Amino acid sequence: MESSDILVIGGGIIGASVAYGMAKQGVEVTLLDQGGSTPSASRGNFGLTWVQGKGLGMPRYAEWTLDAVQAWPEFLEDLEENTGICVDFDQPGGFEACLGEEEWRRRKAVVDQVRQESVDGNYDCEMLDRQTMQEMIPKLRLGKTVYGASFSPHDGHLNPLALLSSLMAALKNFGFKFFPENQVVSVSFRNGCFEIRTAKQRFSTKKIVLACGLGIKSLARQVGMDIPIRPQRGQILVTERTHPLLLHPFVTLRQTREGSFMIGSSHEEVNLDTGTTLEVMHKIARHALQLFPELSTLQLVRCWGALRILTPDNRPVYVESESCPGAFVVTSHSGITLAPLHAAVLSKWIVEGTTPEGFEKFHPGRFNA
């Protein structure tokens, strides 16, 4: 039987970020992943580090998100120093475009409310008119229906696959134990110790972190927790490469460092179906052309569907089991944006047992209130 200080179930960006933070503290970490046989949010991610739209009705989440994006430069420097892998991170600020005046007014109302709810009234997001937008995007002509946008200077983007590769390489440098293609069958708790069974072998540990996306739901029940999560499909289109045209990412469109445009994304309740459909792809492409008609000259070269992992209110859940102390759940659909704090703050919470200020807001008990 394999044993370690802490065992993390889930080798996506969330699990790898938390494991990385714990390994940096000198903890012996084991990471289990079920491999490529099931859909992974990390491998199909759009790649945004995003503040806008986060925290309406939950100021602690808005604050948590802003803290995360501000921590990205230092987090990235540390990762690149450990691995030498470039993740193509850029933080030029991002847009959420509004098609028509009514959409712009609705967006402004949301921005104003988040600012009003914030602790100090300081929510760094502004509403821009069409002319200001166009001045910031000199190489592409805006479509006729673009009225304006919200803009946050903290928003950015990166290569999600490179980030996952970098985290795994850093963990390897710290000597972690990695067991791919090991889907967990059961978790049991006895005498302060967890036993984890996979189809291949058994593991024992004093602490366990459930960061395995949709797999959390059934495993959490085995350690006394009810975590309501569901899948939601997002389809993404990718164009051929072209010369640099767009510096700032949009929430639905960005140009990668290689020159391709990534265009997304849908929000579909289709259970575990990760396929693509012509109807939805057409809708996504049409919206992109409403923003930038000139993109019609680019060929589409790839498309895919991937699953977001969502809670009922789309906010994170961070919780330790009361009946099986030492069992933790970490889940969020903003795993990339929050990666620096998952590595720095959550890892200390799990290792040292000190609950961060305001963490009661992320408890799943809020769904029963």
pLDDT digits (tens, 9 = 90+) for 43-90: 678 999 999 989 899 999 999 999 999 999 999 999 999 999 999 999
- Is 286 found in the same domain as 351? no
- Is 211 found in the same domain as 112? no
Average pLDDT over residues 166-187: 94
- Is 234 found in the same domain as 106? no
pTM: predicted TM-score of the whole model, two decimal places: 0.95
Residue 87 in domain: no
Enter the DSSP assignment of 139.
T
Domain that holds residue 316: 2-82+160-228+312-368
User: What span, in angstroms and rounded, lies between the C-alpha atoms of 337 and 156?
Assistant: 9
Which of 22-26, 53-57, 302-306 is the least confident region? 53-57
Map tokens 């996506």 to a residue.
12
Of 135, 152, 169, the one marking the end of a domain is 152
What would the two tokens of residue 103 be?
A: 């959409």
CB atoms < 10 A from the CB of 278, how many? 8
φ, ψ for residue 260, nearest 5 deg: -75, 150
- Reported as a pLDDT band with limits 50, 70 and 90, residue 119 is confident
Average pLDDT over residues 166-176: 94
- Reported as a pLDDT band with limits 50, 70 and 90, residue 39 is very low
- Is 196 found in the same domain as 296? no
- State the pLDDT at residue 206: 96
Asked if the model's pLDDT at residue 241 lies above 70, the reply is yes
- Is 272 found in the same domain as 126? no
Percent of the chain whose pLDDT exceeds 90: 89
How many whole angstroms from its chain centre is CA 340? 11
- Is 325 found in the same domain as 299? no
- How many domains are there within the chain? 3
CATH number of the domain within which 186 lies: 3.50.50.60
- Is 172 found in the same domain as 64? yes
Residue 69 in domain: yes
Angle, alpha carbons 272-273-278 (nearest 5°): 155
- Is 300 found in the same domain as 247? yes
Host H or E run for residue 146: strand 146-152
Q: Which amino acid, 303?
A: C
- Reported as a pLDDT band with limits 50, 70 and 90, residue 1 is confident
Asked if the model's pLDDT at residue 37 lies above 50, the reply is no
Average pLDDT over residues 181-200: 94
